[in-house]
Amino acid sequence: MKTLKFKTNIKCGGCIETVTPHLNHVNGLESWSVDTQVPEKILTVSGTDADLAEEVINTLKKAGYNAELI
């Protein structure tokens, strides 16, 4: 399993509610969390899929959010 971190524009609990159903359906994604207390709004994901970073970025884009791998 690998852990990846992304800088996002997920700002609040409402944003997290919006992305939850999208992220919960990403293949190979085992867990995720967003730290909205830091300026970079860090999304941390853990999973097994080889293309996990690309899938997370594309999924958030479809939900109306940005993610940049850091």
* Global pTM value: 0.92
Taking only the tens place, the pLDDT of each residue in 23-64 is 999 988 999 999 999 999 999 999 988 899 999 999 999 999
- Cα–Cα distance, 50 to 38 (Å, whole number): 28
Question: Do residues 6 and 43 lie in contact, with contact meaning Cβ atoms separated by under 8 Å?
Answer: yes
For the record, the structure tokens of 57 come out as: 């970025």
pLDDT for 2: 92
Strands (E) located in the chain = 2-8, 29-35, 42-47, 67-69
Q: In the beta sheet, which residues pair with residue 4?
A: 45
pLDDT for 1: 87
Which pLDDT band holds residue 12 (cuts at 50, 70, 90)? very high
* Helix or strand run (H / E) with residue 28: none
pLDDT for 55: 94
Domains of the chain, start order: 2-48+55-69 (3.30.70.100)
